[in-house]
Structure 1
């Protein structure tokens, strides 16, 4: 009995760490350390990323720069605006589980979110394109698998 009580108290202690919401150059991130003094800081945020499933799939890029190029190409009305994303990004299938949203970034009024796949890699997706969220949970699912495929 004492062992169970000790485990409960220990878990409660570790679960109460502060989470800081930091913003730098329009990118929002969450950390367990205070933000650099030049950042906007909201202390503490107490936001825990959740395991999410989105209704729709999306292009998923490890580097946000490929999304920015695509947005610029669409704005310039080029004939193949997604040429770079097709070469360097993957496709996040619909109804697959991800951990997120870890960070958000707005570029030319389009909101992107960083998610983590079950393989440990982080990807940027266009948030409005994948909504609505069809399920969310705070505990890691036993069957966590993120279906990320090559774009062909």
Structure 2
């Protein structure tokens, strides 16, 4: 949670300002490290609406990679249906502690052949240049179906 407080000694004065900021996700800073090098505690798609066979999904994930401080890593998450695939790429620098946290929420569009079709996910972590594969995991994801608008 962030608070911004602006105070002016002149009543009725109008002013204009711009704010630029960068947010950084850093989860479980005080907890222990994951047991494995790559941990995926959250990986899900939530159904948004339907247009023919193209489905709009909200993609949520949290990926932990047990890396080194002051090192930048790249994650690649690919959602795969029988008719389509969508890849999200993200970079994150590990500041301290024992793991790099990739957190994502975004809308993606994927073709899904039938309702209830299993969707797979492949999670890969690379070095900063995206050339050396450091860790990978895959499996079926959970998702929530919704109703068409």
- If the TM-score is normalised by the length of the shorter chain, which range does it land in? under 0.3
Structure that is richer in strand per residue: 2
In the superposition, the TM-score normalised over structure 1's length comes to: 0.23
Query: Which is higher, the Rg of structure 1 or of structure 2?
Result: 2
In the superposition, the TM-score normalised over structure 2's length comes to: 0.24
Structure that is richer in helix per residue: 1
